[in-house]
A and B are shown apart, each in its own frame.
Chain A
Amino acid sequence: AQSVTQLGSHVSVSEGALVLLRCNYSSSVPPYLFWYVQYPNQGLQLLLKYTSAATLVKGINGFEAEFKKSETSFHLTKPSAHMSDAAEYFCAVRTGWKLSFGAGTTVTVRA
């Protein structure tokens, strides 16, 4: 079964600093990968998805992720953190109709 591993359950960044969230996948075939964000007391919403059309994927709110097959990674970045980026972020991989999620990374942003 395909799976994803998120490195680091918690990341703290200063406002204006780079945000880097790590995700590695295990898959024997080209995967379909996603990043979702969850704000407090809300459901998850899609940030971006990789579907093999391009290795660098741009999402909403200034986030982007790069698919690196050689490293089996799909790390999420944002050049300059904003206070509103404080949330929990989930990497996910599609298996058939289903999505399997990583354990999540909580981002806090320091003023």
Chain B
Amino acid sequence: DAGITQSPRYKITETGRQVTLMCHQTWSHSYMFWYRQDLGHGLRLIYYSAAADITDKGEVPDGYVVSRSKTENFPLTLESATRSQTSVYFCASKTGDGNGELFFGEGSRLTVL
């Protein structure tokens, strides 16, 4: 089925470990985004990408790394996980149209012990 999928949906890890959250979309949307959702903060943008090999920082990029070698994939890596990175992470994509709708994945719930 077409859509945007995230994996894993749930992950528990320990402080200092590297974690990669995967995001795959089948629409060939130009733009992809990573948000984190925390109580009281809504969604905050971590990184975004306008096309393959083009990425840029959002509001809260520290401690995260992204890459986009293919249009359909946009993995998010926590190089050395910290407890403050415990959160729900959402991947989203949209077309190049300025007012295009954001389509969200179902989220990845990450717990850092």
List chain A positions with a Cβ less than 8 A from chain B.
6, 9, 32, 36, 41-46, 49, 51, 90, 94, 97-104
Contacts and interface: CB of A to CB of B under 8 A. Distances in A.
B102 to A, nearest CB: 6
A104 to B, nearest CB: 5
B74 interface: no
> Which has the most chain A C-beta neighbours within 10 Å: B41, B102, B107?
B102
B45 A49 contact: no
B48 A98 contact: yes
A101 B98 CA distance: 17
Given A42-B106, A43-B107, A44-B90, A32 B99 contact: yes
B99 A49 contact: yes
Contacts of A90: 42-43
Given A90-B43, A103-B41, A43 B48 contact: no
A43 B102 CA distance: 11
B40 A46 contact: no
B4 to A, nearest CB: 8
B interface majority secondary structure: strand
B11 to A, nearest CB: 15
A87 to B, nearest CB: 14
> Which has the most chain B C-beta neighbours within 10 Å: A6, A43, A46, A103?
A43
Contacts of A103: 40-42
B42 A98 contact: no
Nearest to A90: B42
B3 to A, nearest CB: 10
B105 A43 contact: yes
The 5 A-B pairs with the shortest beta carbon distances in the complex, nearest first, are A43-B104, A101-B43, A103-B42, A101-B42, A44-B104
B102 A99 contact: yes
Contacts of A41: 106-107
B45 A100 contact: yes
B5 to A, nearest CB: 10
A103 B102 CA distance: 17
A41 B92 CA distance: 15
